[in-house]
Structure 1
Amino acid sequence: MKHTIEQFADAELTEQMFKIAKRELREDKYVREQSVEQLRNWVQKNEDLRDVRLDDEFLLRFLRCKKFSVPMAQQTLLKYLNVRRTFPHMTTQLDFLEPKLNDVISNGYIFASPKRDKNGRRVVIINAKGLNPKIYTSSDQARAHFLTYECLMEDQATQICGLIHVGDFSGVTTAHVTNWNPTEFARVFKWSEQSLPLRHKEIHLVNVPATLKWLIDFVKGRVSSKIRNRLTLYTQDKELAKYVDPSCLPQELGGDMPMKAMVELWKEELLAKRETIVNLDKIALLSDRGILRKSNFNAEKNANGMNFVSQIESIEGSFRKLEFD
């Protein structure tokens, strides 16, 4: 059976989705209109913002993520722009037609399954075999992630229903891990969770080698308890279909559609939104003075009381000495 992008991508909001919005986000027509207007007025008056989009779809991504708390949506918008400003080599120039970025996507490293699950959620597949760390840098890898998420954040159904992540670690090598500077990896990972207006509903990691357990534990320590409690590890991908709708998975992970076909549909979706995503580079944060911070980054403590930066330094050697079965 031939599948087309029109069957799956950017679904119209259904009655079920409106019910989810009401139940989980406190969203109705009145709240939506009032909150969008308040956030738009704030953006227009904020001297630290330049050329921020004022369309409903863009502003709603921040409001929905924060259940229509306008002050929290304001903070998330500032943090989102600050991530783009702090890590421009990873978060900007997300042109799908740029050769290296196009190659990473075409190789099937990261893509969104074209079909939504029964709860309206898109499933993001991350396939370690699709990235050759001897050819592509950590910046190339990160840009593929940010491109994927920017595309999905444009979709209102995804703003409401959220995402499921499936990471397949089969084929992971030492080079995949040593490709990253440990400190930058930790900062990007932590900042992205706090700054990207996405609803991460479930995270499933399959075929995780025992030698990577320390890295998974490290990542768990850097994310919120909410995300940590939504993360599940499997030693074999056979278990995955019990918890993720098989129709949303590629054949290689127990689903129906070949991964190659899913990737081609995803490329069509990226191409359709290419101009919108590229134009995001016009948006700028001139100062981060409006961002509220709980504590200074260097003073952050982990559960054992160890300084965060010291912890990164203490494990840096582990990134360089990994051996995989």
Structure 2
Amino acid sequence: MKRNNKIYIAGHKGMAGSAILRKLSGAGYSNLLGKTSGELDLKDRIAVNRFFKEESPDVVILAAARVGGIWANNEFPYEFLMHNLQIQNNVIDAAHSYGVKKFIFLGSSCIYPKYSPQPIKEEYLLSGELEPTNQWYSLAKITGIKACEALRRQYQKDFVCLMPTNLYGPGDNFDLQTSHVLPAMLRKFHEAKNRDHASVKLWGTGSPMREFMHVDDLASAVLFTLEHKLEETIYNVGTGKDLPIDELAVLIQQIIGHQGKIIWDHSKPDGTPQKLLSVEKLKNKGWQSEIALEEGIRNTYDWYNMQQNQNL
């Protein structure tokens, strides 16, 4: 991969996309291209094709998606299915039509069946029923993976799909209605600490096992994929380690310095019981995560505090 190849990062303003932009820029890639959703609506097929015709990118990294936690997935199933399908279909087809040399598609570990054997291997895809609370998003991502697989098989295209575990880090979404579990916890404990260490109510039982990876590790995996020829369509990207949600809560509570009670709302859903990725396939190619969970959460909390201070 030449350092002056034109690389289009779709979703460069999001948490994953911005981390990828920082990583590639730091690695010396000088021809990086990004468009905000206001500048280019990826759901608009005509606009996407016009963009690809005018810009002719050599590489495309698709980090743009409609994402959210359990509540958002449950409340907006149509948008999570249709908007993601529209984005993926338009970008993947344009990349194929306009001769993109390498395409990296970012998915999610939620593509795998709810009751997959643990740790989850790539070949478990489509081997069972999906988790109902996020099936709409999952189905869209599975379709994107299969589109990339079809292009590899029929046209020998270098299209690779990376399936990251639960991501967190600078640029995360901290909205309590639409965020994922880790940033939601971070905000709740921070605000409770500022209210004289008030109690914090959290969803579910705290028993599900979850794996978390700092977004800078995902960016590192994208850079690795960019610079290496990978023979298969799909690769998991994770840490290979998980912990119960209640232990995560205690860790975040300690990092923030909250001294109040934690109350678990058992009337709320837990989601998938366990979701630990097998990371052997990409590790055997030469990549593995490096950022420990406590270090990553501290880094994220520092970023969160900096944003709060800027908004004062």
TM-score normalised per structure 2? 0.26
TM-score normalised per structure 1? 0.26
Comparing both structures, which one devotes a greater share of its residues to helix? 1
Q: Which has the higher contact order (CA 8 A, sep 6+)?
A: 1
Comparing both structures, which one devotes a greater share of its residues to strand? 2
